[in-house]
Structure 1
């Protein structure tokens, strides 16, 4: 994987925060911290996309059906019995 150098500007407070994360041993240097933030942001966006897709799929799956709790419990009991 090729690396690209970027220059960023932080406020004094932000810089102190990054330094504290490194001093406390969470990261080895500024770059590790920034890469971790980017990875977390990517994961958050991916989960949000998956959630939105699931909601969209659910909305387009047809008319909702009434929830039958006793049927769900019965199915769960049957599954428990087959596992034992």
Structure 2
């Protein structure tokens, strides 16, 4: 995978947070930490899209006795069963 170099500007508060994360030893560099944050956000966005599609599908299929929370929980359970979470 090709890497693209980026330059970003963060606030002083964000820099302190980044440094505190690096101090845990879980990340070797700012870049590694930021890539991990991006991957997590991408996964979260994908999960939201799946839930949204399932809710739309449920609404279009007609009346259901399941609540939106039931549908969300079913989708999450399915993703866990598939090893996606």
Per the normalisation by structure 1, the TM-score is: 0.71
2:72 corresponds to = none
For residues 31 and 7 of structure 2, what CA distance do their matches in structure 1 show?
11
With over 3 angstroms needed to count, the CA separation of the structure-2 counterparts of 1:64 and 1:5, relative to structure 1, is same
1:65 CA displacement = 6.0
2:24 aligned with 1:24: yes
Any runs of at least 4 consecutive aligned residues in structure 1 with deviations exceeding 2 A, and if so which?
62-66
Number of residue pairs matched by the alignment? 66
1:64 corresponds to = 64
Per the normalisation by structure 2, the TM-score is: 0.71
**Structure ranking higher on relative contact order (CA contacts 8 Å, 6+ apart):** 2
With over 3 angstroms needed to count, the CA separation of the structure-2 counterparts of 1:20 and 1:62, relative to structure 1, is same
After superposition, residues 3-82 of structure 1 pair within 5 angstroms as: 3-64=3-64
